[in-house]
Structure 1
Amino acid sequence: MTTFVEGPVRVSVPATSANLGPGFDSLGLALSMRDELEAEVTGSGLEVVVTGSGEGDVPLDESHLVVRSMRAAFGLAGVQPPGLRLSCTNVIPHARGLGSSSAAIVAGVVLARGLVAGGSLLVDDDALFRLAARIEGHPDNVAPAFYGGFVISGRDPGEGDFYAVRSSVDPRIEAVVLVPPTPVSTEVARGLLPAEVPHAAAAANAGRAALLVAALAGQPEQLLRGTRDYLHQDYRRPAMPESLALVDALRADGVPAIVSGAGPTVLAFADAPGAAGLLARRPDGWAAHHLTIDRDGARIV
């Protein structure tokens, strides 16, 4: 008979940046900004408390994304608890292209497995990742949120399995994220993309994505060239003109800058000494954070 662990389980999940320029829907990077969550099995009912980002906006019932993800993971383990208590301390900004929804999904599935006695034997890491990817609908953010580091992910043809392959990141590479005050939804950003692109643009983008993997692995001097995108960023300019203008200005100065995920956050790669200068490029009203690459992914704390 499946039983639950006594006392609360705590999990920490990193922010992520997907696409990274040319790696549309396939490349993702975990960053050192983390949400912290705690859950406990109770005798009945559901209690959800949220502080930080999303406080006062997200639902506090069964429709909460963390709760829905927990329910899915409990279902995969073949059990549902009589009651739940969930506390979320959110640092990752919502609807800014830093993977807040993926962090919530990954936190939920990891919490649920952690609350089930012997949960890792019932549901292994790969199965838990694939569940998270199905909930999100695509793996490019959930993969680095779950595994940490730099991850190449996708889905086999014909609604096949999701896959995720970790790749190395040069220890010199860090990041500065410049976060505007106004959100942009992923749905709006995706709605601006054309159904087709010219073959020449697709070929050029494939070359830059391959170069980006090599640049991140050990040739950071190639990051500017490797982050050049031909598939999505310019099409999204109407939804985030200030972000794309900042990307243009930074790249004109030789800085490998991109739109993070679906935007509107701007991510600029740098080494540690160069980060201070990038923080100073923060537009009025924006937030700025100097982050390192998170190597751990989701973890029970």
Structure 2
Amino acid sequence: MLRADAESPAIAAGQQVTVRVPATSANLGPGYDSLGLALSLYDTLTVETLDTGELLFELAGEGAETLPRDASHLVVKAITAALARLGFRHAGLRIIANNVNPHGRGLGSSACAVVAAVVAANALVPAPSQRDRAWILQVTSEMEGHPDNVAPALFGGLALSWQDSDQYSSTCAEVSPQVVPIVAVPDYELSTEAARALLPASIGHHAAAMNSGRAALLIHALTQKPEFLLAGTEDYLHQSYRAEAMRPSAGLLGALRAAGHAAVVSGAGPTVLVLANGEAEAEASLEFIRRYTSENTPDVAWRVMKLAVDVEGAKVDLHRR
């Protein structure tokens, strides 16, 4: 694979690409590290090539108060690494990032940034050197360590992903129009690393068998039979082990499920995702969340949003001079 060095050609100055990438929810209950859903909540990244050797970084929205605006930012590192793998380098960049996806909440914010960066880098190199989206999936999965968030961010819809040795693959399924995603985003963060550290090294055969059955049912429910969403979202692998790290979210999750709503932890948490069957159930879920959080978690501020399933994935708008 090509690697860039000081002798590699620099991308021509004056080119600009804008990439819009959806937020994602991974796992979806039993689909641990394998299922992901693209959601209609979008980050936008604009990258312009310069010939001045400068890095100019404008950042608005989520993370604007805390994230760096230099070469240590994840977007800059991912763009530089992707260009290197394509055999190029940049002589300077102007980056404008508008972040809507909450950080550290289980909605794939880092995957969103990595996908936007690698898609932008691939669009900026000359056409003969550009690679397909299977290559982008491989590179972004390596950067993230797993494909469950980057795949839906890249392709849209419901992504089913798997790994063979060091090769990542994904295929997409069309979600039933009856499925309405609702997210309840609390005002506290939980890192993926911290959440993974809570998981046991192994589980019993019975739990694994139960989980595989629910994961299979979930795909059927999401694509054809939404009436099975509650049963299909039952998890036996990870959510219970992580509950202590996000007690307000775990309480909301348990209450929603007890009331008949197909609720799961979004990614590593602490956001709670409800997969509602139709608009009437979506409205009932929204009302339940607002009432429960008001009465039971008065010290936690929640952002509750009714979203849609994004079906386009990463979108590119490219301008060349």
TM-score band by shorter chain is over 0.9
Q: CA deviation at 1:265?
A: 0.2
Q: CA deviation at 1:171?
A: 1.1
- Listed one character per residue, the Cα deviations across residues 54-80 of structure 1 (whole Å, up to 9, x for unaligned) are 112111111111111111211121100
Aligned CA RMSD, in angstroms, stands at 1.3
1:97 equivalent in alignment to 2:106:
yes
Instruction: Tell me the residue number matched to 1:62.
Output: 71
Alpha-carbon distance in 1 for matches of 2:76, 2:166: 26
Amino acid at match of 1:114: A
Amino acid at match of 2:314: A
**Alignment check: 8 A CA contact 2:13 2:50 kept:** no
State the secondary structure of the residue aligned to 1:205: helix
Amino acid at match of 2:83: F
Amino acid at match of 2:121: A
Instruction: Tell me the residue number matched to 1:255.
Output: 261
- Listed one character per residue, the Cα deviations across residues 128-162 of structure 1 (whole Å, up to 9, x for unaligned) are 11000000011000000001100111211xx3310
- Listed one character per residue, the Cα deviations across residues 24-70 of structure 1 (whole Å, up to 9, x for unaligned) are 00000000000011010001221111110011211111111111111
**Alignment check: 8 A CA contact 1:2 1:116 kept:** no
**Alignment check: 8 A CA contact 1:5 1:116 kept:** no
Instruction: Tell me the residue number matched to 2:136.
Output: 128
1:291 equivalent in alignment to 2:319:
no
Structure 1 runs of 4+ aligned residues shifted over 6 Å read: none
Q: Which runs of 5+ in 2 are unaligned?
A: 1-8, 295-300
State the secondary structure of the residue aligned to 2:257: helix
State the aligned residue count: 298
TM-score, normalised with respect to structure 1: 0.96
Instruction: Tell me the residue number matched to 2:59.
Output: 50
Instruction: Tell me the residue number matched to 2:169.
Output: 163
Instruction: Tell me the residue number matched to 1:143.
Output: 151
Alpha-carbon distance in 2 for matches of 1:207, 1:23: 10
- Listed one character per residue, the Cα deviations across residues 227-284 of structure 1 (whole Å, up to 9, x for unaligned) are 0000000000110011111111111111000000000000001122332232221324
Instruction: Tell me the residue number matched to 1:240.
Output: 246
The percentage of aligned residue pairs carrying the same residue is: 47
Alpha-carbon distance in 2 for matches of 1:63, 1:2: 20
Q: CA deviation at 1:7?
A: 3.6
Amino acid at match of 1:182: Y
TM-score, normalised with respect to structure 2: 0.90
**Alignment check: 8 A CA contact 2:26 2:33 kept:** yes
State the secondary structure of the residue aligned to 1:230: coil
Q: If you compute each CA radius of gyration, which structure gives the higher value, 1 or 2?
A: 2
Q: Which runs of 5+ in 1 are unaligned?
A: none
**Alignment check: 8 A CA contact 2:11 2:91 kept:** no
Q: CA deviation at 1:5?
A: 7.0
Alpha-carbon distance in 1 for matches of 2:77, 2:95: 12
1:273 equivalent in alignment to 2:280:
yes
